[in-house]
Amino acid sequence: MRTTLVLVGIVAAVFLVPVIIGLSRDNALGYDEALYAQATRRWATLGASSVSGWGIHRPPALPVIGVPLYLAGSGEEWTLRLSGVVSGLVIVAAAWRGGTILAGSVAGIIAALATAAASPIQVEATSYLTDLPSTAVLLVLAVLCLEVLWSPPPRRRDFVLMAVLAVLAFYIRYGAALDVIALVAAAAATRPRAIVSREAAFGAAVGAVLLLPHLIGAGTATGSPYGILDAARRAATGDGGVPLGDYVRWLPFDLVGPVGAGLALLAAAMAVRFVARPRDIDEPFRSRGLFLAGAAGLSLLLIGLSVHAEPRYVLFPLVMLIVLGSGGLGRVVTGPTRRTWAVPLVAVVLTVAALVGLQRTMAVVGDRSARWDWLRTAGRDIAVDARGGTCSVLTSDVPIIAWYSGCAGVNYLTGDEPDRLSLLTGSRRYIVERSDGHLQPDDSAMRGLTSDATPWRSYRDGFGEEVARVFRLAP
């Protein structure tokens, strides 16, 4: 018992220390974070506040989940970001449980430590985004699959819970539908009898009922029950390249850290062996391993071919591969031909991984602060200048400026009205011109927009470079 508590404390510290340090940097909200923060504030204030920049492709669950955090923290950003911290802890716990089910306690410890030390997961835990919460729910679902699909029939009543988790992950992030499809396909391939059962059918029916509000809402808003999903797909489409190549290029540091990437590659090699030499591997390790590898591989394929590349999009399949790789490594360490040298070697590697994860997380969080914090300063300066009156801002960074200024935000490039200045309302009107031209018209068009405006403030980023100028329009 004492050993278990010590291990839990070590794993928690490996994850929480860099996350807490990252939260203490108090970075400005990013683009998507600010959107979800505005939506949460609207729910918390029962519609008394507005949301600038929201699109129909945004899922509804995170703003609702964030309401208690918003109210408890009186709107403080760090309390909203606790959703990421809790989700990260659930992900680490799910990795531990998955590894333990697959190959015993040593595999569970390796999976938990490798996941906890992954800098990309630590960084996302300091954010108020949908990716980590949906990944946490999906991993709990995957762990349930490892248990239920290989258990006697009475355990199959949990198919209802599994359906609820699948739908919850979808409502948190629509892209989770691809991961759920991958899980169902892998389950059907490895445990067909469990899937073709009355309990599974009942669970599917429950899931369908829970999806009805989405289907009805999509039909009302777009004319098609799949309209919102199509909007989400179009919003996440890449620039014409193959996103899968970006994920390969980002190995090993930018996805799940070097140790996590190594375990994922080991998992891929194990999957090949499971197929090529099935009689050499005992059950249920082989079939469970094939389930994890199949679900992860299909998920990576679906995501890597259909939406633009973002490291946080593939956390779910990569953590599943970490679990599988940890299972293989755990069996090496504890098998009949036990290798005594392997235990201290694994301990040293995981210790180094924890230190590397800490250093890289601090570097990424510091870089975000240097690049983004000027937006918070600009938004708050506008709020002070507007003095609580009605105001609006023309800007590329609509949700961020709207969150910090309290003004209505108008973007440059989308919408039916070509004259963007005509959309600015209120007693105070502003234009934020970014030096890099991000999501802005060309220089000639920008000069036309600012020709009748008065230069007001300029802003520099954390590297000392001028990044934006703010103009005021006459009332």
pLDDT single digits (tens) 385-421: 998 789 999 999 999 999 999 999 999 987 777 889 9
Residue 39 CB neighbour total at 10 angstroms? 22
pLDDT of the residue at 237 = 72
The C-alpha atoms of residue 49 and residue 407 are separated, in whole angstroms, by: 10
Which among 321, 209, 12 is positioned nearest to 201, based on CA atoms? 209
Residue 11 CB neighbour total at 10 angstroms? 25
Output the tens digit of pLDDT for each of the chain's 475 residues.
677 788 888 899 999 999 999 999 999 999 999 999 999 999 999 988 889 989 899 999 999 999 999 999 998 999 999 999 999 999 999 999 999 999 999 999 999 999 999 999 999 999 999 999 999 999 999 999 999 999 888 777 899 999 999 999 999 999 999 999 999 999 999 999 889 888 999 999 999 999 999 999 989 988 888 888 888 878 777 655 667 777 878 877 788 988 999 999 999 999 999 998 888 888 999 999 999 999 999 999 999 888 888 889 999 999 999 999 999 999 988 876 656 666 788 788 888 888 989 999 999 999 999 999 999 999 999 999 998 789 999 999 999 999 999 999 999 987 777 889 999 999 999 999 999 999 999 999 999 999 999 999 999 999 999 999 999 998 8
Q: Whose structure tokens read 């979800």?
A: 36
Residue 444 CB neighbour total at 10 angstroms? 7
pLDDT of the residue at 186 = 97
Which among 261, 374, 307 is positioned nearest to 131, based on CA atoms? 307
Q: Could you tell me whether strands 428-434 and 408-410 are parallel, antiparallel, or unpaired per DSSP bridges? A: unpaired
pLDDT of the residue at 336 = 67
Q: Where are the domains of the chain?
A: 2-338, 373-473
The C-alpha atoms of residue 172 and residue 62 are separated, in whole angstroms, by: 6
pLDDT of the residue at 359 = 93
pLDDT of the residue at 231 = 86
Q: How many CA atoms lie within 13 A of 223 on its CB side?
A: 0
Both tokens assigned to 188: 């059907």
pLDDT of the residue at 69 = 96
The C-alpha atoms of residue 288 and residue 146 are separated, in whole angstroms, by: 7
30-80 per-position pLDDT tens digit: 999 999 999 999 999 998 888 998 989 999 999 999 999 999 999 899 999
pLDDT of the residue at 240 = 56
Burial track 224-259 (b if 16+ CB lie within 10 A, e otherwise): ebebbbebbbeebeeeeeebbebbeebbebbbbbbb
The C-alpha atoms of residue 26 and residue 33 are separated, in whole angstroms, by: 13
Give every CB contact of residue 404 below 8 A, 6+ residues apart in sequence. Answer: 28, 375, 376, 378, 379, 380, 382, 383
